[in-house]
Structure formats: structure tokens, C-alpha cells
Chain A
Amino acid sequence: MGQQHDAYFVPTKSYWPFVAAVVMFTTVVGAAHWLNAEPGDGGFGKTVLTVGVIGVLAMFFGWFRSVIHESMAGSYNHQVDVSFRMGMMWFIFSEVMFFGAFFGALFYIRMFSVPWLGGQGHGVLTHEFLWSDYAASWGMNGGNGPQHVGGNFSTVPAWGLPLLNTLILLSSSVTVTIAHHALRAGHRGKILVFLGITVLLGALFLNFQAHEYIEAYKELNLTMHSGVYGSTFFMLTGFHGLHVTLGTIMLAVIWLRVLKGHFNKEHHFGFEAVAWYWHFVDVVWLGLFMFVYIL
């Protein structure tokens, strides 16, 4: 525990946390105004939201830059490293719980709410009196509920783009691991190649997902409004896609840092944190592929 170091490290004062609070506030104020604006009147909210988002990006850039500078100057001892590791692990755990809420919603809807609407369990009377013709199956024949919210739609077949995306993400987990091994062996060229491939695979995934969304909206009539099927489909894949986007950006930053020679065989927590995050995104996708697309 405390034995490896002879003194504690406490970072110096920083204005980044306060800036972070201000820009987060700006972002949500803008978003809330925009959501509540009358149609065609969202200008103010949009402006504030844009300023906020740019502020958040600038804040991340500035805060991480100062941390990287301190790290490069050798300010951080072993204990700080362990704190960072714990911070990242528990952050990922909190993300797992966030996705847990949406997976929980999906399971509840498929196991309980749709069958109950179809008259199973104690949903007999609801079914009888309100929607006695509702067949209560999942997918395109009832996934949008007894009122067929959003109209007829088709589902995205699992064995097309989603399968391809699964293979892409799984390969990217392999390439990031090869890059990690190369980092520990000190082969910078190999790191750059395999980490670069990982970034490209992440971008490819996002590209395919964008195609899938466009096809869903234009060809399949599968939208956010397609009853609870559309709700769970787009919320789960959407939040996952957002995390892939963040992960890809993070990997790209790490690639640049490798190029600049920020890491060595022993000290490369930034790399590892992003690799953990990438594996987490990968595992979430496997859950999605299983429960959203296949089953």
C-alpha cells in the first residue's frame, strides 16, 4: 500500500474543474431550452448548446493536456497511478450499470410488458377490454405495441451488417491487444500499425452503423417512433454507438500520443485505460448483438 513511496502527491490548484462545471451547465441549459422551444424557435437553445458542447470539448482538451504535461514531467508516483486505475475501473463499472438500465428495460418489455398486453399473466382484462386483437409478439409483428405506433416496419436482419459489425469489433479488440503487447515489448512501429488498424475498425463500425440507421429509417420504416421495439433498438444501439465514437476518439488520441513517444514499457496507463474502455464497448456490443438483433 503506502510502502512504495516516501511522500504523498497532491496536485496543484487547477481551474479546469470549475470550467468543466460551467460548460456542462451551459450545455444542459442550451439542450433544455432547445427541447422546450416552439417549432422553428429553437435558435437560442441551439446556440447555447453549441457553445456548451464546444466548451466541453475544449475543457477535455485543456484538462487532459495539463494532466499529460504533469505525467510527462514525472510528477505522478505509483500511488497516483493506482488511483487513476481505480478511477477508470469504477467509471467503467458505472457505465456497465448505465447500460444495465436499458438492457433491464429491454428484458422487462420482452418478458413481461408485451406478453401481458397480449393477455398473459394478469394482463387478461387489459387485453380483453382494450386491445383484444393484439397478437403480442416481438419484432415486426407487434413490437410496436397494440396501437401499432409508428406503423408497419421491418427489423434489421442480424446476419447482415450487424454480423459484420460484430466481426469488426471483435477484430478491433484483438488488434488493440496486439498493440498493447507491442507496447510492452517496446516496438513502436508495430504499436502504430495495430492501434491505427483499431481506430480504422472503430470508424468502419460507425460507418456501417450509420448505413444501418439510414436504411432503417428510409427502407424499413424502423424509427424511434416504432413503438417500444424502435425505442429499445435505437436507445441501446444509439448509446452504444455514442460510446464507440468516444472510444474511437480516445484511441486516436492515444495513437497520436504513441507517435509523440509519450509512453514507455512501464508507464502507459493512458493506453491501458482506453484499451479497457474499448473492451467494455466490445462486450456491450456482444450483448446487443445477442439480445437486440439475434433473439
Chain B
Amino acid sequence: MSHAATHDHHDDHHGAPKNFFQRWCMSTNHKDIGTLYLVFALLMFFIGGSFAMLIRAELFKPGLQLMQPYFFNQLTTMHALVMIFGAIMPAFVGLGNWMIPLMVGAPDMALPRMNNLSFWILPFAFTLLLSTLFSAGGGPAGGWTMYPPLSLQSDSLAYVVFSVHLMGISSIMGAINIIATILNMRAPGMELLKMPVFVWSWLITAFLLIAVMPVLAGAVTMLLTDKYFGTNFFNPGGGGDPVLYQHIFWFFGHPEVYIMILPAFGIISEIIPTFSRKPIFGYKAMVFAIASIAFLSFIVWAHHMFAVGLPLGAEIFFMYATMLIAVPTGVKVFNWVSTMWGGSMTFETPMLFAIAFVILFTIGGFSGLMLALVPADFQYHDTYFVVAHFHYVLVTGALFAIIAATYYWLPKWSGRMYSEFWGKMHFWNSVIWVNVLFFPQHFLGLAGMPRRIPDYNVAFANFNMVSSIGGFLFGASQLIFLGVLVHGVFFSKKKATDRVWEGAKGLEWTVPSPAPFHTFDVPPVIHDDELAHGHVND
């Protein structure tokens, strides 16, 4: 370590820069960048959520109520793109940014400037994407999967493709950073198999991101050249095949699904032991289960395409491969329940969301198993059953985990305790209304209501109205969340202790609350009993 470096490092040692631009736009601080990611994700969550409110308003009654079908199609497309790439993924990256260095005893991310670039690409990418809604031809309306030839008809395609490229670059750089941080920046004594499960889940997720985001970039590039440069990848007349796009897209898309759930598994594996006051049951099994799920995610993509006309052998292979995923997922659910079993449990807001996650995500997992069956999927394909399925895994799964993580770590970030009463209000409202919102959609789908259609048969009217009411109230419940956050960050009088939660174990709870601008100037010496999983190898 040279003098120059020491000097550089101590320049901003004593705290955050005062200048707003310097602090937030030139940052190399993982906590500030993590905060940026989380605030951005929250903003996108409300933008994407407002699209969902409009969708549910249109579907409140049969017949065209509020909008033209073309605008409805733009809403479903944009809702998905914004929620997936703008809300869920950046929220997980923000949590990873904040917590991984604290959890492994690193001073920051391995490549802090690239970290800043990873974030700052996103606001621009979404400006580009959302601006298409205000253009003459409207936004993308072919669904978030952008299947050709439909997606090629839209003039917004170039904007969407370029914004997907930007998001991909951001994700790849973020993932490289996370892998380098975890593999290279751990403090002495933090062995790989002593790391928190959240860190493990992000290591594997980051690998998935680097492996599949370039594939998405390739797929949308082919869309771009098919539309603007006269190539024929997806044109059968020229020897191509639109189904080729679906193969490439879902080779990205299925690992992408796990990119949005594996960090959630990690979060839940942190929260449940804390509030059960027991170490996690089967730590190694949890890690290997995540790795198995990640591996399987590469060989199941065509289960999204059963109805498109695949050879029989392919359908059978992808059906069985898909059902295999139930095994490692079952291990995880079993271990979460076993962790709670016999624990001295308390039910603070993060724990409530974690328990709801275990139950409701499992419902989403079961409906996924139903969809994995080829003959059954011929009936369910592109119906509201699919919509119900992926909202159970994404809303009550990924989103609930993000909310749980926010409540869990917020005191560490802000140094103040949020209002437990209003946190619980948020929980009970969310958990009730989300089921009113999505559970009836199973029935709608089984009865044959297709997705992505603004109008429907009157036979579906009752369940749709119930679902819409649930949707409006679930949406309104998130305003409570916003209130709890603002209060818990800026106004709460109740100071958080360093440990915050009585049963919390791990390195992040040994630093003060709020975590100082710089933690771990020198590598901390870690003892096994400070770690949540320090003794698992015994």
C-alpha cells in the first residue's frame, strides 16, 4: 500500500461529500449507490404499479371501459418491463450493494466506479423506455417478451431494444462487481462456506446474470436488424423462424426468472433464523439447493413454449427437467419451516413478510408445477392462470422478500426504528389484498380467460371485479409502505441499536447503526461466533 493510495483513501474518510452532485453522481460508496438503486426501484415500483392500476381498472367490468386495446397492450408490456428491469432487479442489486460488503467485511464493492456506472445507466435507460409512451406511435405493445413478428410492427422497437441493451450492460457490470466483491474482498476468516446465504444467493445470481443478459442482448439485436437492416432471422420466407426468437429469449428468460427469486431466497434465509433465534436448518443444503436451481434454469427454457409446436421429445424432456426443480425448491421450503420449528419466534414485520413469502411463494411453486405438465399446459397456456402463477412468485415471492429485507435492514441503514404498528398495518393489508387480487385469477385462467386482452366474456365478470378490488387496495396499501419508509428514514425518534434485532447474527450487525459512511478501513478479523453460519462445518 503506497502513500498515494493511503492519501487518496483518506480524502473522503470523514464522511459523505457535502456537494449534492459529488455525493450522488460521482459516488464510489457502496452504501450511497445502494441507496440510489433502492430509491430508483421504489420509484419504478410506483410507476409500474400505476400501470397495473390502469389495467385492473380496465378489467373491472367486461367491455371496453377506459382505453383503446392498443393502449391496454402498451400498459401490460410496460408494466412488465418496468417491474422486472426497473423495480425487482434494481432493488435486489441495491440490497446486494448495501449488504454484501457489510456481510463479508469488505470496505466497498470491488470496482466502485463501475458500480456507479451500473446504477447511472438505469435512469437513462428508463427515460428512453418510458418516453416511447409519449411518442406518436405509442410505446411497445407486443408484450415484454417482444415476440416477432408482432413486436417488429412497432416504431418504438429501436427505443425498446436500445434501452434493453443499456439495462443489460448495467446488469452485467453490476454482476461482475458482485462476483469480484464476493470472491476477492472477503475479510480473513470469512470462508466461502461461512458466508451468509444472502451472499451465496447473490454470487450465484450474478453468475446467471453474466451468462444470460448477453443472450438477451443478442436476441433483441436480431429483432433490430430484422426490422431495420433487412435480416431474416425470424422470417420463414427467408429461411428463418419466429420460434427461434422464443428459444433465444427464453434461454435468457428462464434464468432471468431465477435471477428475480434467488436473492429473495437469500433474504428469507437471513430473516427466518433471526426471528426464530435459531441457526438456519441445513446451511449447506440451502447453498447447494440454490446452485442446483441455477443449473437447472439453463435446461428448462422451452417450458414457456409448450403450445408453440415443439417436437414431442423436446416437450417431454423440458417437462421432466422442469419438474426436477421442485426438488431443490422443496429442500429450501422444508429448511425454512425446519428453521422455525422449535424456535422461540417473534413476529416483527420482516418476519411476517418472510413467513408470508414461504407460504405464498409455495403456492406459486405449486401452480408452476401444474404449468410444467405439457398436457395441462396446453389448457393453461396464455391464460390468467399463468398470470396468477407468476404474480404469486414475483409479488408475494420476490417483492415480499424485498419488502421484508427493507424492514429488516432499514434500521441499519437509517439508524432509526420504523413504526412497528404501521409496518404491521402494511403487512396485513398487503397479504390480504394481494390474495384477493391474484387468487381469483387462477379460477379465471382455468375457466379459459386469456391474458393480455382488455375485454372478456361476461362469465368472467365477478372474479375480475373481485381481483380489481383486491388490486386497488393492494396498490393503496403500498402507500402505507411509503409512509413507513419516509418516517423510518427521516423522522422516527426511536434510535436503532447496533444489533437491531435480538436474534440477529452476522457481521453487518457488529457495525454501528446507522452504518458509518466508511466501514472496515482495514480487514476485520472475524471470529466464527460473530457469524450466522460460523460453526456449520463443525
Query: Which of A's residues lie within 8 Å of B, judged by CB?
Result: 1-3, 5-18, 20-22, 24-25, 28-29, 31-32, 35-36, 63, 70, 73-77, 79, 82-84, 86-87, 90-91, 93-95, 97-102, 104-105, 108-109, 112-114, 116-117, 121-122, 126, 142-147, 149-150, 223-225, 227-232, 234-235
Residues of B within 8 A of A24 (CB): 121, 124, 166, 169
B179 at the interface (CB under 8 A from A): yes
- In the assembled complex, the Cα of A106 lies from the Cα of B221 at a distance in Å of 14
Residues of B within 8 A of A15 (CB): 25-26
Mark the stretch among B234-242, B326-334, B415-423, B464-472 that contacts chain A. B234-242
Residues of B within 8 A of A32 (CB): 128, 158-159, 162
A-B pairs with beta carbons under 8 Å apart, 7 shown: A8-B521, A12-B9, A18-B117, A32-B162, A94-B214, A144-B238, A149-B232
Residues of A within 8 A of B237 (CB): 145-147, 149
- A7-B239 contact in complex given A104-B251, A228-B232, C-beta closer than 8 Å: no
Residues of A within 8 A of B213 (CB): 94
Shortest Cβ distance from residue B210 to the other chain A in the assembled complex, whole angstroms: 5
Most chain B CB atoms below 10 A, which of A6, A36, A79: A36
Shortest Cβ distance from residue A71 to the other chain B in the assembled complex, whole angstroms: 11
Residues of A within 8 A of B521 (CB): 7-8
B120 at the interface (CB under 8 A from A): yes
Residues of A within 8 A of B70 (CB): none
- In the assembled complex, the Cα of A36 lies from the Cα of B162 at a distance in Å of 13
Shortest Cβ distance from residue A158 to the other chain B in the assembled complex, whole angstroms: 20
Within 215-244 of B, Cβ neighbours of A (below 8 Å) are at: 215, 217-219, 221-222, 224-226, 228-233, 235-241, 243-244
A229→B239 contact, CB < 8 A: yes
- In the assembled complex, the Cα of A97 lies from the Cα of B213 at a distance in Å of 8
A77→B239 contact, CB < 8 A: no
B520→A8 contact, CB < 8 A: yes
Shortest Cβ distance from residue A226 to the other chain B in the assembled complex, whole angstroms: 8
A94→B107 contact, CB < 8 A: no
B165 at the interface (CB under 8 A from A): yes
Other A-B pairs, 7, CB within 8 Å; known A25-B125, A231-B232 = A21-B120, A25-B166, A35-B158, A82-B184, A102-B222, A109-B241, A116-B241
Chain A residue nearest to B172 in the complex (CB): A94
- In the assembled complex, the Cα of A222 lies from the Cα of B367 at a distance in Å of 49
- A86-B184 contact in complex given A35-B158, A102-B218, A224-B230, C-beta closer than 8 Å: yes
A101→B8 contact, CB < 8 A: no
B1→A145 contact, CB < 8 A: no
Within 149-197 of B, Cβ neighbours of A (below 8 Å) are at: 155, 158-159, 162-163, 165-166, 169, 172, 175-177, 179-180, 183-188
B114 at the interface (CB under 8 A from A): yes
Query: Which of B's residues lie within 8 Å of A, judged by CB?
Result: 1-2, 4-6, 8-9, 11-12, 17, 22, 25-28, 106-108, 110-114, 116-117, 120-121, 123-125, 127-128, 155, 158-159, 162-163, 165-166, 169, 172, 175-177, 179-180, 183-188, 210-215, 217-219, 221-222, 224-226, 228-233, 235-241, 243-244, 247-248, 251, 309, 311, 518, 520-523
- In the assembled complex, the Cα of A99 lies from the Cα of B124 at a distance in Å of 26
Shortest Cβ distance from residue A215 to the other chain B in the assembled complex, whole angstroms: 19
B176→A91 contact, CB < 8 A: yes
A2→B188 contact, CB < 8 A: yes
Chain A residue nearest to B33 in the complex (CB): A17
- A17-B124 contact in complex given A25-B166, A98-B217, A101-B215, C-beta closer than 8 Å: no
Residues of B within 8 A of A17 (CB): 26, 113-114, 116-117, 120
Shortest Cβ distance from residue A267 to the other chain B in the assembled complex, whole angstroms: 12
Chain B residue nearest to A143 in the complex (CB): B239
B128→A29 contact, CB < 8 A: yes
Shortest Cβ distance from residue A5 to the other chain B in the assembled complex, whole angstroms: 6
A146→B210 contact, CB < 8 A: no
A10→B238 contact, CB < 8 A: no
Residues of A within 8 A of B518 (CB): 10
- In the assembled complex, the Cα of A11 lies from the Cα of B112 at a distance in Å of 7
Chain A residue nearest to B171 in the complex (CB): A94
Chain A residue nearest to B213 in the complex (CB): A94
B176→A22 contact, CB < 8 A: no
B5→A76 contact, CB < 8 A: yes
Shortest Cβ distance from residue A148 to the other chain B in the assembled complex, whole angstroms: 9
Residues of A within 8 A of B228 (CB): 35
A86→B235 contact, CB < 8 A: no
Residues of A within 8 A of B185 (CB): 2, 8, 79, 83
